[in-house]
Structure 1
């Protein structure tokens, strides 16, 4: 019997490997952005234009590499040609110049130094189910980040920028039946400040890891206004009792943990809430059998970064809330963007 030979697949003329190669090129483009942020290219170009030779001299870069870097950034829409050299585009000028209120460098640094190395272990995480972030294996995945004050401030600057629209939307929610709330995992209090500013009858508080208290104090001092009425409570929400309040808020918290930990947190919340109080949970809730690409990326990020975290659906959260003793309700909140708010009522 003649040996069978495998014939090369015949593809339509319109089929080519470009989309696959484009995905790999996308990774390289990200590295261009991160290298530019590390060398502070956009800050160096703030308010001026410069040639690649001038910028290489200013920043101590190799001239040939600097020119390719700048041309690449121009192709990405982050730089523009100006006066024979390069200048920041509008988006780079708004978000990538150090010292600007909307600077995203802290978040990009977090991605580069903390999150992306965990993504490098995605293939291993898919096989083992274990996080590739060593801090998560040993305890809390944010422990290493919060040991560096500069990294903490930069990361929190970016988080406040990205989550400000959520705080604004939640500040317009009907808080009239409540007198106090605690933002669990509320970092340096940006959300709490937004809500109390719009609802001055409320007393606000933040519960988060003790190393964040100095960042909270600095941030509140800079905001002024209602800031003095917002307090910080340091602790670990797995081992310490949560402060008593009418409302406990879990924003972008539950998806960081496994199901058992989520139920444990919700039971802890139930025990700390006053009768008639409620727990507010907002997350993308992008789980389910057919999540969006945003949900897929968020879910895989949790796989490599956290200890059991993953995206979940509204229906799953309703079940966990009921298990903890709450009466769950999905709330309608305008302008919450990619997030969903679910309220768990403690009726007695």
Structure 2
């Protein structure tokens, strides 16, 4: 009699991803309540945390110990005798009082994106964005740019999530043959700042809409680079790009549809000298579309957030660049799922 083959297929991956929102919302809630900022000052008991965050006693220890089990908190003792503190990564990246804080993007995920992703099915069936603009409301970007405080918070969020990429690019790209750089859609000026710090011979310009300029100048002054990086106001849809040896765009192309992508790449081409470099920092999707899950999910997020935006693959980048006139392209891996796509004129 034959013995049935042992079943080795395991449902754990399905359950882990299918219930992944449990952990996601637990972390986002902790960030939103500033738990990690509070714990950066000193370790606290559960009762002290309960008082500071105005929590009910019912699920207090389930909440805190879930964060322990997921590796975001450390704990001595248990339940009523426990003392909680931050893990190393949460202490560095999720304490609002540290310049390394990246929680702004997580606050936006909690307060905006989390509920909008509930409409993914509608987006997939209609091809229409699913955020505040879904029912004729204002685009979130119109709201953000109209309010200096919201704009400052948004720029801080975008800067935090891109910081690792900008540092990796400033360290990993060979600037020896170039003298000038212009970062298109430069937001808070952080990419230009890191290039200037790492490559003192480079003259850098950060280019963005007029409401962004004073915030970029504040950031650069705070970093001691107010005289080293030039802030220029303009609209990359209506204005020509400033001339430079290197033109960069960090997470710009994925906001727009194919027609606008082509227009922006062509403007970059026109602003560069022969031998100049166009660099896009994006979550470039691998050509086989199997490995960069984050890039693919970010492209779905562009469905939620924008009328026509999507993330591109490395071959998409090559095609856009060659169509604009660039002669060769290459890819530099950066932090996590991000890469720098480089096109040479």
- TM-score bucket of the superposed structures, by smaller chain: 0.7 to 0.9
Q: Is the 8 A contact 1:135 1:142 kept in 2?
A: no
In the other structure, the counterpart of 1:72 is 66
In the other structure, the counterpart of 2:17 is 23
In the other structure, the counterpart of 2:170 is 171
Size of the aligned set, in residue pairs, is 334
Q: How much does 1:312 deviate?
A: 1.9
In the other structure, the counterpart of 1:128 is 126
Q: How much does 1:147 deviate?
A: 4.3
Identify if the C-alpha distance between structure 1 residues 77 and 337 changes in structure 2 by more than 3 Å, giving closer, same or farther: closer
The farther-off stretch of 94-103 and 336-345 is: 336-345
Bigger Rg, structure 1 or 2: 1
Aligned counterparts, 1:44-59, within 5 A: 44-59=38-53
Identify if the C-alpha distance between structure 1 residues 139 and 175 changes in structure 2 by more than 3 Å, giving closer, same or farther: farther
- Return the match for 2:28 from 31, 34, 43: 34
Q: How much does 1:205 deviate?
A: 0.6
Q: Distance in 2 between matches of 1:309 and 1:80?
A: 40
TM-score (norm 1): 0.84
Q: Is the 8 A contact 1:185 1:206 kept in 2?
A: yes
Q: How much does 1:204 deviate?
A: 0.8
- Return the match for 1:108 from 106, 109, 113: 106
SS class of match (2:201)? coil
Q: Distance in 2 between matches of 1:320 and 1:140?
A: 27
In the other structure, the counterpart of 2:272 is 273
Q: Is the 8 A contact 2:284 2:339 kept in 1?
A: yes
Q: Distance in 1 between matches of 2:255 and 2:152?
A: 21
Q: Distance in 1 between matches of 2:138 and 2:308?
A: 12
Q: Distance in 2 between matches of 1:13 and 1:271?
A: 60
Q: Distance in 2 between matches of 1:338 and 1:16?
A: 27
SS class of match (1:286)? coil
Q: How much does 1:218 deviate?
A: 1.2
Q: Is the 8 A contact 2:283 2:294 kept in 1?
A: no
Q: Distance in 2 between matches of 1:325 and 1:97?
A: 45
TM-score (norm 2): 0.84
In the other structure, the counterpart of 1:310 is 310
Q: Distance in 2 between matches of 1:101 and 1:230?
A: 20
In the other structure, the counterpart of 1:7 is none
1:92 aligns with 2:93: no
In the other structure, the counterpart of 2:210 is 210
Q: Is the 8 A contact 2:100 2:160 kept in 1?
A: yes
Q: How much does 1:215 deviate?
A: 1.7
Q: How much does 1:192 deviate?
A: 0.4
Q: Distance in 2 between matches of 1:46 and 1:202?
A: 37
SS class of match (1:201)? coil
Q: Is the 8 A contact 2:182 2:206 kept in 1?
A: yes
The farther-off stretch of 277-286 and 140-149 is: 140-149
SS class of match (1:343)? strand
Q: Distance in 2 between matches of 1:325 and 1:192?
A: 25
In the other structure, the counterpart of 1:339 is 338
Q: How much does 1:113 deviate?
A: 2.2
Q: Is the 8 A contact 2:189 2:220 kept in 1?
A: yes
Q: How much does 1:250 deviate?
A: 1.7
In the other structure, the counterpart of 1:182 is 182
Identify if the C-alpha distance between structure 1 residues 324 and 13 changes in structure 2 by more than 3 Å, giving closer, same or farther: closer
Identify if the C-alpha distance between structure 1 residues 24 and 321 changes in structure 2 by more than 3 Å, giving closer, same or farther: closer
Identify if the C-alpha distance between structure 1 residues 330 and 47 changes in structure 2 by more than 3 Å, giving closer, same or farther: same
Q: Distance in 1 between matches of 2:338 and 2:320?
A: 18
Q: How much does 1:34 deviate?
A: 1.8
Q: Distance in 1 between matches of 2:261 and 2:140?
A: 16
Identify if the C-alpha distance between structure 1 residues 38 and 148 changes in structure 2 by more than 3 Å, giving closer, same or farther: farther
The farther-off stretch of 277-286 and 180-189 is: 277-286
Q: Distance in 1 between matches of 2:222 and 2:95?
A: 21
